[in-house]
Structures are given as structure tokens and as C-alpha cells.
Amino acid sequence: MKGLLGLVNLYEDETGMEPLTRQRPLAAVPFAGRYRLIDFALSNLVNAGCRTVGVLVRDKYRSLIDHLRSGKEWDLARKRDGLYILPPGYVANGQCQSDVENFRFNLDYIYNASEDFVVICGSRTVCNLPLEQAFQYHLAMGADVTIIGRERPNDECRHCLSTDEAGRVTGVCGLAEPGPDDVQPLGFYILSKSLMAELVRDCAVRGGCDFFADGVLHHKDRLKIQVFRHNGYAARIDSVTGYFQSQLELLHPPVWQELFFRYGSIFTKVKDEAPAKYREQACVRNSLVANGCIVEGAVENSILFRSVIVEKGAVVQNSILIQNTRIGANARLNNVLCDKDSQVAAGRCLNGSMASPFVVEKGIVI
């Protein structure tokens, strides 16, 4: 059966995302008013026809489990197949040190799946991909591995790959000027189930820690590794600044429409809440406001998640307020990122910049 088994690998570097990942994994970080980062990975998979999806978790995953539940919102609550949470495989010291160990620990799950091919992804990339087209490209090219990537950004050299004119990976980019065929991987790649098992064992024997770098790219000379180029919108969430700026990009309608509708819908956990309420003195311009919000002040070029309260006289500009944030009367915020359950007291004035937003941590009162 030439189907796709989806694997969401949550062994991701969260260094640049503190403090947002202090109490949650990167996959559970809120995005765009009512979504979590993992929603984009899961939605891309199910839109491509994946009916079996395994999520390899690492730590701090209580909020993630609460969000995913049975997988009903992604049509993965099934009697057969569906959504699987794959816990970490612990080594001698009680810690699961790498995604290679977790893949090896869960090889029986991968073997027992009826699909012949695997698509592996993380939660770092926010995009809406033609994943089914990428799979057909993989089959047509006779590739061992197909990596989905985009043109290398001029200011980005990390994790980028060099390719030849036919799209085959030839090496890893250094600090040199970008070439015309260089690509930045988007964290999605396709390979056969049997090849994946082979690479996992080989990588484990050699002591590799990163399956993509030490398993896949290590064999770039032996394997036919092709790149499927995605020319649409994609954002890699590597830092708090990037996270902040990527969300504000959604205030441009073409970006928002492409991200949420181009190749299929983006699904998330449904919460039955009342529509947002705008009081008599509310003034809202160019903003995304989720259900359950109560707005009495002024909001401009901002994103308000569910159940945010902006009291009378408050001014919120170029800011992101995550769920249950409360902004006191006559407070002023500009380029501010407020995490869940935070509060800004009446009359406070908080200012950041697009390059360095002022961050109010989860549950903090200022």
C-alpha cells in the first residue's frame, strides 16, 4: 500500500523560544489567535491523505496532550489507525537523549503501520504545503528521500542545502554567498519505511543524535536525496522575535488567506465560546480578535487570542495577547507579547520594538 504514515518529531531545539517554551513544548506554543504550532503540521499531513499519525513527544507535554485529545478535530479519532502519542524511550540514565533513540524505541509502531512510506516533520514551520504533490514527485523521481524546501533566504545560512540543477542534494551550505540552487529545508521529508528503519539503526550504532543530520544527510553521497521546492508562504519559528514577526505578517490578507486555505484548511481544537464583544468606546483596526474577547479600549495592528480583555481607555498597538490576558484601564502597549494568563495593571506603559518585543511571561502580573 503506497500510503503515507505521518510522524511528527518534537525533538526540536527550543533555545531561542524561551520563555514561551519554559512550561510547554514548542509544538504547543499558541499561534494566530486560536491555533498551536502543531496544528499546521497535523493539518498538512491529513490534507495529504495521512490517516495514521504518530507524535513523538519529549517532555513538558501535558498541554500538548490536552490540545490534541483524541485527534477528532483532524479526523484522526478512528477505530483503526488515527492519532498515536509515542512516548520517549529512556536510556540508562533515565533520559531520552535524541530523536534517534525515540525512533528506535518506536520502530515496532512504524513496522506495524500498513503504509509503505513515511513523512517526517516537526512543528517549527508554519506553512500550508502541497504535500500530496511532494509525494507524487518523490515517486516519479525514484528518490530515496525527498526534502521539502524553499529558496534559501539571503540572510540565512543555517541548515541550508546545496543542490544541483536536477534538484539533488549535493552538500550542506556554509557561510558562502547563496547559490541559485540553494534551499532551506522546511522540516518535512519523505522516505520509505524500510529505509527509515535502516537509517535509524545505522545512526544509533554510530552514536548519532540527530536523525536528519546524522542519519539522512550523512548518506547524501549514497542516497538519492531530492528537493521538492515550495514557492508559497512559510515561516520558521526559531526565536521569539521570529515568532512575533511571523504572526503580525498574518495581518496582511494575502498571507493569511494563503496560510489557512491554499492547499487545505488548518484545523485546531474547537472551543465553544461566545463571539467577541466590542463595547461602545472600543476602536479596533487591522487586527485579529478571537472568540470570547471583550474590548473596551483601542486595538490596532494586533492579535488577540481567546478570552482576552482590553479595558476602557487601554491602547494596544502592534502587539500579541495570548489567551486570558487582561489589559487594565488606560494601559498602553506597543510591540508587546503577553503570554497566557498574564495581566498588565491599569495605567502601565510597556514598549518594545519589532526586533525585540517586550515579553510578559505566562501568569505574570505587571
Nearest-angstrom CA–CA distance, 335 and 333: 7
Say what the pLDDT of residue 156 is: 63
Residues of the chain with pLDDT under 50: 1
Q: Are residues 229 and 202 located together in one domain of the fold?
A: yes
Nearest to 211 by CA among 189, 236, 228: 189
Say what the pLDDT of residue 175 is: 56
SS (H, E, C) the chain: CCCEEEEEECCCCCHHHCCCCCCCCHHHCEECCCEEHHHHHHHHHHHCCCCEEEEECCCCCHHHHHHHCCCHHHCCCCCCCEEEEECCCCCCCCCCCCHHHHHHHCHHHHHHCCCCEEEEECCCEEECCCHHHHHHHHHHHCCCEEEEEEECCCCCCCCCEEECCCCEEEEECCCCCCCCCCEEEEEEEEEEHHHHHHHHHHHHHCCCCCHHHHHHHHHCCCCCEEEEECCCCEEECCCHHHHHHHHHHHHCHHHHHHHHHCCCCCCCCCCCCCCCEECCCCEEECCEECCCCEECCEEECCEECCCCEECCCCEEECCEECCCCEECCCCEEECEEECCCCEECCCCEEECCCCCCEEECCCCEC
Q: The domain that contains 353 carries what CATH number? A: 2.160.10.10
Q: Where among 231, 261, 291 does a domain terminate?
A: 261
Q: Are residues 253 and 333 located together in one domain of the fold?
A: no
Paired strand residues for 307: none
First to last CA, the chain: 57
- Identify whether 34 is part of a domain: yes
Nearest-angstrom CA–CA distance, 13 and 24: 13
**Cβ–Cβ contacts within 10 Å for residue 125, how many?**
23
Q: Are residues 141 and 290 located together in one domain of the fold?
A: no
- Identify whether 310 is part of a domain: yes
Q: Where among 261, 294, 316 does a domain terminate?
A: 261
Q: Are residues 214 and 337 located together in one domain of the fold?
A: no
Nearest to 226 by CA among 299, 139, 138, 292: 138
Nearest-angstrom CA–CA distance, 330 and 23: 30
Q: Is the pTM of this model over 0.85?
A: yes
- Identify whether 271 is part of a domain: no
Nearest-angstrom CA–CA distance, 252 and 320: 15
Contact of 321 with 303, CB cutoff 8 Å: yes
pLDDT tens, residue by residue, 168-204? 999 888 655 666 788 999 999 999 999 999 999 999 9
Location of C-alpha cell 490517516:
51
**Cβ–Cβ contacts within 10 Å for residue 38, how many?**
25
**Cβ–Cβ contacts within 10 Å for residue 56, how many?**
24
* Amino acid sitting at position 96: C
- Identify whether 266 is part of a domain: no
Q: Are residues 70 and 202 located together in one domain of the fold?
A: yes
Q: Are residues 345 and 211 located together in one domain of the fold?
A: no
Q: Are residues 249 and 320 located together in one domain of the fold?
A: no
Return all residues near 93 (Cβ < 8 A) that are at least 6 apart. none
- Identify whether 38 is part of a domain: yes
- Identify whether 269 is part of a domain: no
Cell digits of residue 153: 533566504
Determine the structural domain holding residue 347 and report its residue range: 277-360
Q: Are residues 195 and 95 located together in one domain of the fold?
A: yes
Q: Are residues 89 and 227 located together in one domain of the fold?
A: yes
Say what the pLDDT of residue 180 is: 72
When divided into structural domains, the chain yields a total of: 2
pLDDT tens, residue by residue, 237-294? 999 999 999 999 999 999 999 999 999 999 999 988 999 999 999 999 999 999 999 9
Paired strand residues for 176: none
Q: Are residues 249 and 282 located together in one domain of the fold?
A: no
Any idea how long the chain is?
366
Say what the pLDDT of residue 304 is: 98
- Identify whether 366 is part of a domain: no
Peptide bond between residue 25 and the one before it cis (omega within 30 degrees of 0): no
Q: 11-21 burial, b for 16+ CB within 10 Å, e for fewer?
A: bbebeebeebb
Say what the pLDDT of residue 1 is: 43
Q: Are residues 257 and 342 located together in one domain of the fold?
A: no
Contact of 349 with 363, CB cutoff 8 Å: no
Q: Where among 261, 285, 311 does a domain terminate?
A: 261
Say what the pLDDT of residue 272 is: 87
- Identify whether 102 is part of a domain: yes
Q: Are residues 316 and 241 located together in one domain of the fold?
A: no
Q: The domain that contains 52 carries what CATH number? A: 3.90.550.10
